[in-house]
């Protein structure tokens, strides 16, 4: 019996993780789990593996990142090239060079690259060419366990009482290692949650900023800094969108700038306990930050002397400390938790914070309290009109723009008055001309404000208001485009009543209101995100059938706006789970914010990439990249009838011109009148139609799309379960 040695010449555009998947081996029957066994690199681009005691096998060689050979068979050792040719002896061929960056932009079965379609990062000036992959960095892929960190709150324990699944887990090193995954899926921009240093009992998401000038060390590694991430993404043709909070800081103040009074957490002793008895995962003895030798939570140089005196010593929290506010001495069992974890809204520094207390029930639809009260105990409302606040936040973010950050996403937009927030946005645009900045103005409904549509709130807290410059709440045209587009919560909100029920009914109504926005083609569209999903309560990961999601992506990738996918949607990750913790005992693994990295390991990634929605989204990205009208044009000739839709995307009077038909549930015949005459080609089926009388009519299969482009490129990509 002899051994079978397989050599394989890796094509230049394959990843370096070459695997061999085997089945029907002889003489004994064996098969591997996809993607199979890892092959070892040899010289000149060859990879090899020896299979002891095997004489023949059927096999597929793959890179675990979406490239693979066809099904092959081999008896006896041999040398194989990616086109399926076998050689009994090593042929005189070397690895082909990496794919060149020019050439044919499309063709059946071929993936036109980012560079071939929309160009390298530095050449892409119009952000509407991009599509966005959004992730909570700390929950995506862990490349460096040494920076992992457990938050105090919502800690998860296994059956033996061991803390598992640290909140801060994914990091820049992991993201850099898996940039090829995002590139293969076809996204050209990544929106990461705020990377600046955070502080709170549950701060893994980045929205509780403590120091805007520093990147949180729980995301970085010595060989994977924020700068390394930006540079690596750009090399892959991918832009970085930084999430920025302007509205609030964490409850500890801002390092080096402002202090919010409280006692060091290491002196907190819960009722019924005593100092030194805390047993909470890595928090042993007390609840102070276990990663720091002094067990303090903050290191604010503007803290008062009594706090700083205790900062550097007494990590056990045992030495008596007098609370200067009450004269009582800690540690003391059950002593007012508010003195450790809370904020006294009456004693905040007015140079940095608003002085109007916390938001309560009736404030949510009322402009002034919404914009001047604190959002939550760990979100303290900054005095955003003050020059010192502006200087600090604008200056801090300018540094990241200088490092190469390509776009900004602004959090909690409706909590800052528009003209005030535009001071920040415009300062960043002045610092980096051409910068794309979009905002999050969360609304559950059309969001038409004073224009009606059943809206309880006024226009000045609604998305359209921030995209405009006028001051008449009943007239969007009282002012032009502010240049500050928003996430499209209006369109999203209708999905509760249509896409989630297998229909497009009502999508036409909201798209016909596009005129209210400064520029609707710059809105960022989505099916769901870390806060919301399109269900009755707007708080779960998409629960609908897979075909409904496929039809949703057909819609988002062909209507106006920039599509944004929330991590994991490509495999229906955590389908139906709450987007955030709901119950008092919930931990992250039961929510939509669960750790994704288990689907990105060398062993699992091949399976992840074979998901029908992964392949579907990959092809939609490929098609959108190849058709400028889908990226940038407005919509016209819109007709929506529940089971289907037809519309035109016309960029610059025919420069790029597409007629789109969508079908959800069953097949549809789509007829669109008033179109240009000429030869149309469908990017989905490759069909051709000559139009001479201004009307085009075509058949669309259920949950597929017709994307008929005038003088178009023809079929792009391969048919899948939905696009066909």
Q: Give the whole-angstrom CA distance, residue 209 versus residue 230.
A: 21
Site mask for Ca ion (CB under 5 A), range 99-138, x = bound = ----------------------------------------
- Candidates 537, 541, 539, 543; CA nearest to 592 is 541
Q: Report the residue from 62, 113, 117, 148 that binds Ca ion according to the rule CB under 5 A.
A: 148
**Stretch 230-249 residues interacting with Ca ion (CB under 5 A):** 247
| 63 makes contact with Ca ion (CB under 5 A) | no
- Candidates 530, 490, 494, 497; CA nearest to 513 is 490
Classify 178 as helix, strand or coil: coil
Q: Which is nearer to Ca ion, 245 or 710 (CB)?
A: 245
Closest approach, Cβ 137 to Ca ion, in A, equals: 10
Closest approach, Cβ 147 to Ca ion, in A, equals: 5
Closest approach, Cβ 420 to Ca ion, in A, equals: 9
* Helix or strand (DSSP H, E) at 556: helix 546-558
Cβ(493)–Cβ(445) under 8 Å?
A: yes
Closest approach, Cβ 139 to Ca ion, in A, equals: 11
| 144 makes contact with Ca ion (CB under 5 A) | yes
Closest approach, Cβ 487 to Ca ion, in A, equals: 18
| 640 makes contact with Ca ion (CB under 5 A) | no
Q: Which is nearer to Ca ion, 251 or 503 (CB)?
A: 251
| 414 makes contact with Ca ion (CB under 5 A) | no
Write down the residue that tokens 């490929």 correspond to. Answer: 622
CA distances from 524 to 60, 167, 571 (A): 40, 28, 21
| 171 makes contact with Ca ion (CB under 5 A) | yes
Q: Which is nearer to Ca ion, 374 or 624 (CB)?
A: 374
**Stretch 379-398 residues interacting with Ca ion (CB under 5 A):** 381
**Stretch 335-374 residues interacting with Ca ion (CB under 5 A):** 371
Cβ(501)–Cβ(535) under 8 Å?
A: no
Closest approach, Cβ 196 to Ca ion, in A, equals: 17
What percent helix, strand, coil does the chain show, rounded to 5?
25, 25, 50
Q: Which is nearer to Ca ion, 166 or 720 (CB)?
A: 166
Q: Give the whole-angstrom CA distance, residue 493 versus residue 320.
A: 54
Q: Give the whole-angstrom CA distance, residue 85 versus residue 491.
A: 51
Closest approach, Cβ 455 to Ca ion, in A, equals: 21
Q: Which is nearer to Ca ion, 381 or 640 (CB)?
A: 381
- Candidates 288, 326, 303, 305; CA nearest to 253 is 303
* Helix or strand (DSSP H, E) at 179: helix 179-185
Cβ(181)–Cβ(605) under 8 Å?
A: yes
Q: Report the residue from 142, 220, 406, 569 that binds Ca ion according to the rule CB under 5 A.
A: 142
| 440 makes contact with Ca ion (CB under 5 A) | no
Span from 140-148, 460-468, 507-515, 531-539 in contact with Ca ion (CB under 5 A): 140-148
How many DSSP H helices and E strands does the chain contain? Answer: 16, 36
Q: Which is nearer to Ca ion, 142 or 640 (CB)?
A: 142
| 220 makes contact with Ca ion (CB under 5 A) | no
Closest approach, Cβ 370 to Ca ion, in A, equals: 8
**Stretch 246-305 residues interacting with Ca ion (CB under 5 A):** 247
Closest approach, Cβ 170 to Ca ion, in A, equals: 6
Closest approach, Cβ 247 to Ca ion, in A, equals: 5
How many CB atoms lie under 10 A from the CB of residue 299?
Answer: 17
| 415 makes contact with Ca ion (CB under 5 A) | yes
Closest approach, Cβ 513 to Ca ion, in A, equals: 27
Q: Which is nearer to Ca ion, 229 or 623 (CB)?
A: 229
CA distances from 388 to 196, 250, 350, 379 (A): 19, 17, 11, 19
- Candidates 170, 173, 168; CA nearest to 199 is 168
Q: And the tokens for 506?
A: 């009502």
Classify 578 as helix, strand or coil: strand
Classify 79 as helix, strand or coil: strand
CA distances from 470 to 115, 422, 464, 537 (A): 39, 13, 11, 33
Could you check whether the bond before residue 35 is cis, i.e. omega within 30 degrees of 0? yes
Q: Which is nearer to Ca ion, 248 or 295 (CB)?
A: 248
Strands 239-244, 407-410: parallel, antiparallel or unpaired by DSSP? parallel
Q: Which is nearer to Ca ion, 416 or 524 (CB)?
A: 416
Q: Give the whole-angstrom CA distance, residue 7 versus residue 644.
A: 51
Q: Which is nearer to Ca ion, 410 or 548 (CB)?
A: 410
Closest approach, Cβ 520 to Ca ion, in A, equals: 27
| 147 makes contact with Ca ion (CB under 5 A) | yes
Q: Which is nearer to Ca ion, 20 or 138 (CB)?
A: 138
| 412 makes contact with Ca ion (CB under 5 A) | no
Looking at beta carbons, which residue is closest to Ca ion? 171
- Candidates 213, 259, 487, 466; CA nearest to 380 is 259
Q: Which is nearer to Ca ion, 116 or 381 (CB)?
A: 381
- Residues near Ca ion (CB under 5 A): 142, 144, 147-148, 171, 247, 371, 381, 415-416
């Amino acid at each position: 019996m002899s051994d079978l040695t397989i050599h394989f010449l890796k094509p230049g555009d394959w990843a370096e993780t070459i695997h061999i998947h085997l089945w029907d081996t002889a003489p004994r029957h064996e098969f591997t789990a996809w993607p199979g066994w890892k092959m070892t690199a040899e010289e000149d681009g060859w990879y090899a593996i020896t299979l002891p005691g095997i004489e023949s096998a059927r096999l597929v060689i793959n890179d675990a990142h979406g490239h693979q050979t066809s099904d092959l068979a081999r008896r006896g050792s041999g040398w194989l090239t990616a086109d399926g040719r076998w050689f009994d002896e090593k042929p005189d061929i070397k690895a082909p060079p990496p794919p060149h960056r020019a050439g044919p932009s499309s063709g059946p079965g071929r993936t036109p690259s980012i560079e071939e379609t929309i160009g390298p990062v530095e050449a892409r000036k119009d952000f509407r060419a991009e599509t966005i992959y959004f992730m909570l960095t700390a929950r995506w892929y862990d490349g460096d366990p040494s920076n992992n960190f457990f938050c105090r709150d919502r800690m998860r324990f296994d059956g033996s009482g061991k803390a598992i699944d640290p909140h801060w887990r994914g990091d820049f090193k992991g993201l850099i290692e898996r940039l090829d995954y995002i590139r293969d899926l076809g996204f050209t921009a990544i929106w990461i949650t705020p990377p600046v240093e955070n502080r709170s009992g549950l701060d893994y998401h980045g929205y509780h900023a403590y120091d805007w000038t520093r990147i949180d060390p729980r995301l970085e590694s010595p060989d994977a800094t924020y700068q390394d991430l930006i540079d690596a993404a750009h090399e892959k043709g991918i832009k970085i969108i930084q999430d920025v909070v302007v509205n609030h800081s964490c409850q500890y103040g801002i390092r080096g700038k402002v202090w919010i009074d409280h006692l060091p957490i290491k002196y907190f002793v819960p009722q019924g306990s005593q100092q030194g008895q805390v047993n909470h995962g890595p928090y042993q003895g007390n609840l102070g930050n276990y990663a720091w030798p002094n067990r303090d939570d903050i290191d604010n140089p503007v803290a008062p002397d009594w706090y700083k005196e205790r900062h550097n010593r007494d990590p056990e929290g045992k030495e008596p400390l007098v609370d200067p506010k009450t004269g009582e001495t800690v540690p003391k069992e059950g002593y007012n938790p508010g003195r450790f974890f809370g904020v006294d809204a009456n004693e905040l520094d007015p140079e940095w914070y608003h002085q109007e207390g916390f938001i309560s029930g009736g404030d949510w639809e009322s402009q002034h309290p919404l914009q001047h009260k604190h959002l939550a105990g760990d979100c303290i409302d900054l005095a955003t009109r003050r020059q010192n606040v502006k200087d600090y936040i604008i200056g801090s973010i300018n540094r990241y723009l200088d490092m190469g950050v390509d776009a900004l996403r602004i959090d909690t937009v409706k909590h800052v008055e528009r003209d005030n927030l535009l001071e920040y946005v415009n300062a960043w645009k002045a610092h980096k001309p051409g910068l794309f900045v979009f905002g999050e103005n969360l609304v559950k409904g059309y969001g038409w404000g004073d224009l009606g549509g059943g809206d309880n709130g006024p226009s000045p807290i609604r998305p359209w208001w921030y995209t405009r410059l006028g001051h008449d709440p009943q007239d969007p045209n009282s002012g032009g485009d502010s240049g500050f587009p928003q996430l499209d919560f209006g369109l999203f909100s209708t999905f509760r009543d249509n896409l989630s029920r297998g229909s497009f009914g009502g999508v036409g109504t909201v798209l016909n209101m596009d005129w209210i926005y400064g520029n609707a083609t710059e809105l960022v569209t989505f099916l769901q995100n870390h806060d919301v999903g399109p269900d009755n309560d707007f708080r779960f990961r998409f629960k609908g059938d897979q075909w409904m999601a496929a039809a949703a992506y057909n819609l988002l990738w062909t209507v106006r706006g920039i599509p944004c996918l929330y991590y994991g949607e490509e495999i229906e990750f955590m389908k139906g789970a709450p987007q955030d913790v709901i119950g008092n005992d919930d931990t992250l693994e039961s929510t939509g914010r669960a750790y994704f990295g288990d689907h990105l390991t060398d062993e699992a990634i091949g399976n992840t990439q074979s998901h029908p929605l992964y392949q579907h989204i990959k092809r939609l990205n490929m098609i959108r990249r190849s058709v400028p009208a889908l990226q940038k044009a407005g919509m016209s000739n819109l007709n929506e009838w529940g089971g289907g839709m037809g519309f035109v995307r016309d960029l610059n009077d025919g420069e790029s011109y597409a007629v789109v038909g969508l079908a959800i549930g069953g097949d549809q015949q789509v007829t669109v009148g008033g179109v240009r005459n000429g030869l149309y080609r469908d990017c989905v089926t490759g069909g051709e139609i000559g139009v001479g009388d201004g009307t085009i009519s075509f058949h669309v299969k259920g949950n597929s799309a017709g994307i008929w482009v005038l003088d178009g490129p023809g079929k792009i990509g391969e048919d899948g379960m939905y696009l066909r």
